[in-house]
Structure 1
Amino acid sequence: MKVPAEALAKSRRTIESYEDYAVRYDEIVGHIPHPNDRAALERAAAIAGPGGQVLEIGSGPGRDADFLEGLGVKVRRTDATRRFLDLQAARGKTGELLDVITDELGGPYDAVVALAVLIHVPRDQIDQVLAKIARSLRPGGAFVVSMRDGDGETGGRYLTVDWRKDAFAARIEAAGMELLSHSFRIGRKQRGWNTFLAVRPS
């Protein structure tokens, strides 16, 4: 499906902004997943099984991928920002450029992980992106996603789109996945975050 020019332009601005911000971002975020995310990642890795193939969308500095690999799965690290991949390469980790809005995802994967990244997908593109993720999973495969809680969105250099828990859960289910668990936490700047674990039905 063709992506509207306006949505594509917003996404491109966000990617370009992260090229300048990647090093600072790595310094700010923790190198160990938050307990809520960690619990969801552990369940996803268990579903994937030893040696399972996991696609991570928006790997950033790659710390969540490090955690997943420590659980015995194989992670395809991807990001739309080249500078993040350079940071990982400096640590001996290989990643690939991938834009979840415009690129095919491949698969089938045993799990797909997208932590704090789909907040940059324009609201009118989220259904297409979630459907693409669902198609990339094997039957029974797991999906872990975290989204910032709220109703608004910001423009400027970084497009960010907030979603309320029930509204985003409905989008996950509309894409053909079944919600297994949800957790809520307060993150930086006292903003709420929802972490979802879902599966593609067998």
Structure 2
Amino acid sequence: MTDAPRTDDTRTDPAFVATTRTFYDAVAEDYHARFRTVLDDAPLDRALMGAFAELVGPEGQVADLGCGPGRVTAHLASLGLRVFGLDLSASMLAIARRENPGLRFEQGSMLELDLPDGALAGAVSWYSSIHTPWERLPDLFGEVRRVLAPGGHLLLGFQVGDEPNHHDRPWGHPVALDFERRRPEPMAELLEHAGFTVLSRTVRITEGTTVARVPQAFLIARR
């Protein structure tokens, strides 16, 4: 895995991966400005991360997959976890490194993790599976399971719903992307089929300053 933006190999990426990277490269600074303090006003989210941190413990390595500008990575680190962030977007990673100089951030795809089997004690996908098509989620969850050690934990967050939330030209940038909303029950079934045991399903109404006025779902699963 490299910190430098990928060049030739991006041409072999699935179209949805390339589209996601392009979108977040374009909106990174505006996205960071809008959401940089969102966790400050989300006590239930912080509580779930605290439970995840307690399950994982301070010894093993944790990956924040799809870390964006690194706010969740930094919060997990503040809970005592040995955590690094991974993201597709070089622009998002530049912000993450700027804002969190003591933490490690790497560029890569959740579908092809440059990690040995069983390397992680924990993984977090905090609203980062929402750009992966439904038919590719088994691949994603299988890859996460591969890099988790037996007994390792996954924290998965996403918006609840049946139709995607389409963002077109956010903050005036000439890009567009679908943010998939999903139901917790079929997501839990996919995790079980991938070899996880789902320990917790939490659905909450929107709290704080979150933009989308839809319920939010959080699953904690163990390999």
TM-score by length of 1: 0.88
State the one-letter code of the partner of 2:213.
Q
What is residue 126 of structure 2 aligned with on the other side? Answer: 115
**1:199 maps to 2:222:** yes
1:80 to 88, 92, 95: 88
**Aligned equivalents of 2:222, 2:140: Cα separation in 1:** 16
What is residue 104 of structure 2 aligned with on the other side? Answer: 94
1:129 to 127, 140, 149: 140
Greater CA drift, 60-69 or 93-102: 93-102
The aligned length equals 196
Superposed CA offset, 1:10-44 (max 9, x none) = 22112101111111111222535333332222122
Which consecutive residues of structure 2, in runs of 5 or more, have no partner in the other structure? 1-10, 169-175
Question: What are the within-5 Å matches in structure 2 for residues 154-165 of structure 1?
Answer: 157-165=176-184
Task: Quickly say closer, same or farther: Cα 1:7–1:97, change in 2 above 3 A.
Answer: closer
Which consecutive residues of structure 1, in runs of 5 or more, have no partner in the other structure? none
**Aligned equivalents of 2:221, 2:178: Cα separation in 1:** 25
% identity of equivalent residues: 26
State the one-letter code of the partner of 1:21.
V
Contact 1:131/1:175 (8 A) holds in 2: yes
1:7 deviation in Å?
Answer: 8.3
Contact 1:48/1:111 (8 A) holds in 2: yes
TM-score by length of 2: 0.80
**Aligned equivalents of 1:135, 1:46: Cα separation in 2:** 22
**1:146 maps to 2:165:** no
**Aligned equivalents of 1:82, 1:89: Cα separation in 2:** 10
RMSD of Structure 2 on Structure 1 (CA): 2.2
Question: What are the within-5 Å matches in structure 2 for residues 22-61 of structure 1?
Answer: 22-31=28-37, 33=39, 34-61=42-69
Runs of 4+ in 1 over 4 A off after TM superposition: none
Contact 1:45/1:52 (8 A) holds in 2: no
1:70 deviation in Å?
Answer: 1.1
Greater CA drift, 121-130 or 152-161: 152-161
